Structure 1
Amino acid sequence: MSLKKASLLILIILVIDQVSKIYIKTNFMLGEEVDVLGWFRILFVENDGMAWGAKIPGAYGKILLTSFRIVAIFFIGYWLWDSVRKKAPKILIISISLILAGAIGNIIDSVFYGVIFDSSLGQIATLFAEEPYGELLKGKVVDMLYFPLYNDTLPNWIPFWGGERFVFFEPVFNIADTAISTGFGLLLVFNKKAFPKK
């Protein structure tokens, strides 16, 4: 697979990711939810950019996380370039492209959203707002895809958790997260094809 085709794949994912996030930011208030199919909902949430809403403590935690992710993008980009140069298997190049596209998509939120949007709390955000909600490198990542496949009270006969409310699948994510997860998933499933032994 050529670098041109890999770049096109990355660009397509980035456009879909950013268009969906900007649409959500400019049409939904934080916490607003739309039921699409019952088991699939659009739910607008924001996070500081780590999995499961985790945070790095301290005043510079967010800047440290964003800076680390920017450096990681350069390493992933080099990995992609080197793989194309060495004519690596197509599945490896596609996987790296997906991971890189997702990483860049979430980095855009972290780097720029704090200075181009105002707050979404209790209002619909404005793009290129006069009073943005944050600073450069301190933006929040926009998530909106929610798949509560099971959302009910567990039967009482189940040990430990019986009678408690249970939601599966609870995380809310975005297109960039989907691209990263798909890229890693392809590497796991097609490991032997992606990394053939010489």
Structure 2
Amino acid sequence: MPLLLPLPALPGLRPARPPAKRVVDLLGALILLALLGLPLAGVTALLYATHGRRPFAREAAVGLAGRPFRTWRLRTADTGRLGAVLDRCALDVLPQLINVLRGEMSLVGPRPEPRTDRPDRLLVRPGMTGLWQVSARSDLPWEEMALLDRHYVENHWLGMDLAILAQTPRAACRQRLA
């Protein structure tokens, strides 16, 4: 059994995970998999056929309460134009819907990291998208990304999650294609 970090006692932070958020995560992941499952399978087969190796990569991450887990992504490095398109529109993270179904991740939250020295991040599940992704993607300095993550942890609610989800597709392609 992995060693779990104790939840930090940070004033003003609320680690509440309303059941409604988990229901939205499950329904959203199932709907997205139903809509994108066949195209995702086709892309996966194409990556395998053209590059002859496993199309998925797994990366170490720290989740809620410091629980370690592995995220899923499509391999995009050294996969030519297809990998560049997948990476550019952030489609390489779609396999993380499996992590959402397993309860390791949420649709919305701070992006997963292999380790963290920011205890506020341990109060929520990491997400496939988040506040800084729809604000400016990776154009922000690390300190500003950390502030947006903290703002999310302190203020998240279902309405905020739905707004972030609605903005994610446009923000992902706009920022990456610019």
Normalising by structure 1, report the TM-score: 0.30
Q: Which has the larger radius of gyration?
A: 1
Task: Indicate the structure whose relative CO is greater, using CA pairs within 8 Å and at least 6 residues apart.
Answer: 1
Task: Pick the structure with more helix per residue.
Answer: 2
